[in-house]
Structure 1
């Protein structure tokens, strides 16, 4: 059984270690100025490799950090937010250059971005509210596991959280920022990382002020084939997408249509899935007709599949009459459909117009930003390491539970952390067109913990018209800015 008893010791180091396989690049900094046309902030951009050691001093490796720190003299109440993407195996580049860092790639909503594209000052940056630190997970971006150290110790739910705890502690020490308001900002798998990290940081005496969860997944059970929670979470997303493309709910507001599908799931659809073949053919026929009205696919098509529509089935069929298929991260993005000869399911599952539209321009622009600091990093920097992703150890024992399943539910880690720290707040962001981490499942994961009002009163939910990458959608960014600013200001409330 995994030992889960808390420890309140943070073991630091002086940065000295045995020489790794390749020379570790020296830290590099550049003084910069950000403006949104109304206010101006002078800040320092620093790219560096943070040494990580185990408690006994063994070198784990070096974690890459790209930080933006305001030149504000008194930083006693100046928050620091640690940010990352997910994967697992993803670097932190996109949540940086995509829309939350001081500079960003210009957004073109649901169309392909050109490359090259010039980064510009980002009027939607979090910099007015907080200093920003972007950390790359071990084995991703520039972060390197030390020669001789088993990477499988950090490529997993628990080892990854432990490594990030050490990276955060090292950054706070290097930059002399202990006892400052601390926040986490995670996207996708980064939200699962946050959930475990909330608990791990607390057990090491590092208290959080707030956690921002964007495009969240806390429980991996809905990702299992045939899981009823999967189909339940997808229906509101399918409905929003059908509404967007004019296939359902003509003339009805997109959020109203999304909510209507949500109500259908809660009141009728979920019960039918649980009943399975116990419902009568007449009941199934009636539900298929109602579902067809919501998600835009023919009732007979839905009925034939016993009300269970796979994501790739929807992506291939909702725009089939137009010769298109739609995205996964953001279902509003489209590309021309493939011929049957390229009908391999595994290939198609990895094809995503919304990823194609932004990932290459974002990566190229991010590399330019790092170059500008003077950091001498490698010429190869992957947004997503498939090696890390494929070798990930999903085993995790949630606090207070028995056994270590390979399908983790980290909501219990978050619930434990919030019970221990009554001052921490959580803000969930979701998108109605996000088919990677459906928002219905997030609400369900938290609600089934039956947390008391003293905790739920400090949890907020915001849902917008975006897909998975909220920062890549301009209308969403415009709404997020005041919501995030208000969230940071709540640190001054009891």
Structure 2
């Protein structure tokens, strides 16, 4: 018995030493491997370069090491004609994993055609990747993926340098300048693509790269965009919810038969028009709106949203998103619906309540993404480290003050006649709704002088529209078309 106790104490001692040891943060590493993928029926040979690259402070001391994966097509003689797409995800605090292994990259998740988890986990070739027309780099900001801050001599991390709207934009522009220089891509046409909070990031980067790094872009793609600093509080924000409510209700067959039988893309313009022209004026009057008119509007909202008129009136016409997620199927099936993608259902402990117990869609995504990215990076791309891959990393508190990223994007477009913007949204996204994305597009340039350089594409899925097989192809084709259409003709001048 005594020997067992001594053995246990020894094991505990050595285990505590192992736990106390710090995992080494690679600061400047690179692993390159060769691969092939068939895209649109054509075999594409490429290299995958994955590694860590430092970010320096003003005195030349490394303050962070950022993890990236860079896909480059082989047998390209002239990179000055070869576009480079720089990809970010959101959060803030989210790794660049979602679009990497589910959307634009040469490998995608093994999931079913609607995007739900299947086992065994893993990846497969992406026959729709944009690697045929552009090279791609996936960048992980500090404390996402394997990226980490590097403490100073006293062991402290300057969080203000990294964790905030403007700080994030500033340091990433510096890092990108180093990356483009190292990879000899200064002459290449360049595109930024961001998803969710990544749209705030790339909107600001468009101007920061121009003004601080003197790097000019050909395009910015906003996937499931945030508000990008464009104000919509009050009645406008409330009215803008209704088209999403209608889309989610249509998907779950909760609309009256005359609406349910309409195609989604026939129904939504009708709801959008009602939200703008009928609902918004009543909301603006608030408690002074005519009582009978409010009842009439609540009745119409009930028809479009699939929830009861009484619920709408009880909430003073302002049905919260979380309440909608709980309420839509409460009486019919007893399930909740996902916030980021309302096609997903959740199961709560109680049918009562005003919000779901958990995000059913995010739980499902983490179920399939986490094992896939950890296996893929270490086995297929041969990047080995003991660092934990942060799907969501510690980046809070995040300084959200001074967010004018939409205005920064507008100014970047004004300064650069070659810069166009594509917006992509899923109709069933209840977090960054498709109609709010349209609203941002409408409000981005009040003059209307640049509206021909702004375009919108909608898809019959949610926040990550590409998880649905049909939309994976459609959305990549839209990206491919956007890139090809925004490459200027040879010797075409950038001028008004």
Deviations along 1:286-306, one digit per CA (max 9) or x if unpaired, are: 000011110011112212211
SS state of the match for residue 103, structure 2?
A: coil
Q: Measure, in 1, the Cα distance between the counterparts of 2:182 and 2:120.
A: 35
Distance 1:183 1:482, change over 3 A: same
Contact 1:433 1:467 in 2 (8 A): yes
Moved over 6 A (4+): 221-224
Which stretch shifts more, 27-36 or 357-366?
357-366
State the 1:54 CA deviation. 2.9
What count of residue pairs does the alignment treat as equivalent?
457
Q: Measure, in 1, the Cα distance between the counterparts of 2:348 and 2:140.
A: 34
Which of these residues, 453, 457, 460, is aligned with residue 458 of structure 1?
453
Which of these residues, 205, 210, 216, is aligned with residue 225 of structure 2?
216
Q: Is 1:352–2:353 an aligned residue pair? A: no
Q: Measure, in 2, the Cα distance between the counterparts of 1:82 and 1:297.
A: 41
- Per the alignment, residue 200 of structure 1 pairs with 208
Distance 1:37 1:265, change over 3 A: closer
Which of these residues, 423, 445, 450, is aligned with residue 428 of structure 1?
423
State the 1:22 CA deviation. 3.8
Contact 1:78 1:180 in 2 (8 A): yes
- Per the alignment, residue 298 of structure 1 pairs with 308
Q: Is 1:53–2:56 an aligned residue pair? A: yes
Contact 1:184 1:194 in 2 (8 A): yes
SS state of the match for residue 178, structure 1?
A: coil
Contact 1:239 1:295 in 2 (8 A): yes
Q: Is 1:240–2:247 an aligned residue pair? A: yes
State the 1:220 CA deviation. 5.1
Q: Is 1:335–2:346 an aligned residue pair? A: yes
Contact 1:284 1:306 in 2 (8 A): no
SS state of the match for residue 474, structure 2?
A: helix
Contact 1:258 1:432 in 2 (8 A): no
TM-score, with length taken from structure 2:
0.87
Distance 1:377 1:360, change over 3 A: farther
The residue correspondences of 1:87-98 to structure 2 (distance < 5 A) are: 87-98=91-102
State the 1:483 CA deviation. 1.7
Which of these residues, 396, 411, 415, is aligned with residue 416 of structure 1?
411
Q: Measure, in 2, the Cα distance between the counterparts of 1:328 and 1:47.
A: 33
SS state of the match for residue 492, structure 1?
A: coil
Rg larger for? 2
State the 1:446 CA deviation. 3.4
Q: Measure, in 2, the Cα distance between the counterparts of 1:235 and 1:296.
A: 11
State the 1:87 CA deviation. 0.2
Q: Is 1:393–2:399 an aligned residue pair? A: yes
State the 1:450 CA deviation. 4.0
Deviations along 1:405-454, one digit per CA (max 9) or x if unpaired, are: xxx34211111111111111110001111111112222223323444454
Q: Measure, in 2, the Cα distance between the counterparts of 1:296 and 1:339.
A: 21
The residue correspondences of 1:3-82 to structure 2 (distance < 5 A) are: 22-24=25-27, 26-36=29-39, 38-71=41-74, 72-82=76-86
Q: Measure, in 1, the Cα distance between the counterparts of 2:438 and 2:381.
A: 41
Q: Measure, in 2, the Cα distance between the counterparts of 1:206 and 1:218.
A: 25
- Per the alignment, residue 377 of structure 2 pairs with 370
Q: Which runs of 5+ in 2 are unaligned?
A: 1-22
Deviations along 1:127-170, one digit per CA (max 9) or x if unpaired, are: 11110100001111111111124022111111111121122112
- Per the alignment, residue 400 of structure 1 pairs with none
Contact 2:72 2:136 in 1 (8 A): yes
Deviations along 1:362-385, one digit per CA (max 9) or x if unpaired, are: 121112221122212235112112
Q: Is 1:318–2:328 an aligned residue pair? A: yes
Q: Which runs of 5+ in 1 are unaligned?
A: 1-19, 397-407
Contact 2:39 2:126 in 1 (8 A): yes
Which stretch shifts more, 449-458 or 273-282?
449-458
Q: Is 1:228–2:235 an aligned residue pair? A: yes
Deviations along 1:208-239, one digit per CA (max 9) or x if unpaired, are: 11111100113457797xx3333222211110
Q: Is 1:190–2:198 an aligned residue pair? A: yes
Which stretch shifts more, 417-426 or 250-259?
250-259
SS state of the match for residue 218, structure 1?
A: coil
Q: Measure, in 1, the Cα distance between the counterparts of 2:444 and 2:193.
A: 22
- Per the alignment, residue 149 of structure 2 pairs with 145
State the 1:240 CA deviation. 0.6
Deviations along 1:113-136, one digit per CA (max 9) or x if unpaired, are: 024323111012111111010000
TM-score, with length taken from structure 1:
0.88
SS state of the match for residue 457, structure 1?
A: helix
Which of these residues, 362, 368, 378, is aligned with residue 361 of structure 1?
368
- Per the alignment, residue 445 of structure 1 pairs with 440
Q: Is 1:106–2:110 an aligned residue pair? A: yes
Distance 1:85 1:22, change over 3 A: closer
